[in-house]
Copies of this chain bind each other. A is one copy, B any other.
Amino acid sequence: MATSTLRKTRSTGRPTLEAVARLAGVSTITASRALRGLGSVGPDYVQRVKAAAAELNYVTNPAARALASSRSDAVAVVIPSLSNAVFVDVLESIHTALRPRGYEILIGNSHYSRNAEEDLIRHYLASPPSGLIVTGFDRTESARRLIDASGVPCVHIMELEEAEGVHCVGFSQARAGEAVAEHLIARGCRHNAFVAAQLDSRMMQRGEGFRETLQRKGLYDPDLEVLTPSPSSIGLGCDLFRQLLQRRPDVDGIFFGNDDLAQGALFEARRQGIAIPERVAIVGFNDLAGAADCVPRLTTVRTPRAEVGRIASSLLLSMIGNEPVASPVVDLGFELVVRESA
């Protein structure tokens, strides 16, 4: 009665599809199809297989599935930062849209580095995910080629670009910058500064829109552009604001490329007794948490993070499913939220 364990097994001990099939009295292929809900299986069989799987506590081995089918149910999302709440918001809504559909979300953080992003993309593409979501268009040529060559459906987020075969959902960063300039000018500000950190491509596009509008109105002063590659932060906003006002006491309007910079400026202004918006009007960007509650309440540009994630996900789903896509570029717009600071 001794069970003879003849062959040394490398098995993990967890139940396999074969065990499920045996218990259900069907072939493994049928079990596989039943579990995947392929339809071409008799309903009674589906019942039996599912019951067997439940009883054995069966879980598909993703590695085996990936190897056999050369596809995975993962969607890789590459963003430049997790410290920037903007991308956390986008991630959350992608998660909400894709998890219920059975996709696993792989989060890749490039830390605003083109090389790191290329490595991440190469890594993800090593076992091709079902889909790919990447941030913007500023990447290495190799990364671009990797994506193209992979054939993996890919949608670009946060920026817009019209190009053959490119799918994107976001809004025009440049036009947002223009809107801020127009608001400041309409308020009567004559000496408008642009203060930016990180200097990623989206930040620069906002700056361009801002600058071009000022130029058109004959109000552009290059000396009023304060750019630093340091990561954006509240503390940095304090410093930059102090330095700018010291150097150019005549400045009466400032567009901060990020809300945290603007909030720092608000704190520093308070500390120095500088009246906002009376002496200097301040506009932020993104409408992050706190913008509506600070003192004075921050005028800023609300960006559609959640919508970007949601729409990008459904666009990707269509592409994965080879369904027709209404439009390869989706402009979600933005909204200038005028509160107290400008």
> Which chain A residues have a beta carbon within 8 Å of chain B's beta carbons?
10, 12, 59-64, 66-67, 70, 72, 82-83, 85, 88, 91-92, 95, 104, 106-107, 109, 122-123, 126-128, 233-235, 237-238, 260, 263-264, 267-268, 270-271, 289-290, 292-295
Contact A235 B293 (CB under 8 A): yes
Select which of B60, B88, B106, B235 is within 8 A of A82 by beta carbon.
B88
Closest Cβ of chain B to A286, distance in Å, is 14
**Leading 9 A-B pairs by shortest Cβ distance:** A63-B66, A234-B290, A63-B67, A59-B126, A82-B88, A63-B63, A270-B295, A62-B127, A107-B107
- Given A70-B10, A233-B289, A235-B293, answer yes or no on A61-B109 (Cβ-Cβ < 8 Å): no
Not counting A12-B128, A234-B294, a sample of 5 additional A-B residue pairs whose C-beta atoms are within 8 angstroms of each other reads A59-B126, A63-B64, A63-B66, A83-B92, A267-B293
Contact B126 A60 (CB under 8 A): yes
Contact A293 B270 (CB under 8 A): no
Nearest opposing residue in chain B for A123, CB measure:
B104
Nearest opposing residue in chain B for A60, CB measure:
B126
Closest Cβ of chain B to A230, distance in Å, is 13
Pick the most buried of A260, A263, A264, A290: most chain B CB atoms within 10 A of its CB: A290
Nearest opposing residue in chain B for A288, CB measure:
B234
Closest Cβ of chain B to A247, distance in Å, is 20
A290–B122 alpha-carbon span in the complex (Å): 36
- Given A61-B126, A234-B290, A234-B293, answer yes or no on A82-B72 (Cβ-Cβ < 8 Å): no
Contacts of A67 in B (CB 8 A): 61, 63-64, 67
Contacts of A61 in B (CB 8 A): 67, 126-127
A260–B294 alpha-carbon span in the complex (Å): 12
Contact A59 B289 (CB under 8 A): no
Closest Cβ of chain B to A18, distance in Å, is 15
Closest Cβ of chain B to A195, distance in Å, is 16
A106–B267 alpha-carbon span in the complex (Å): 37
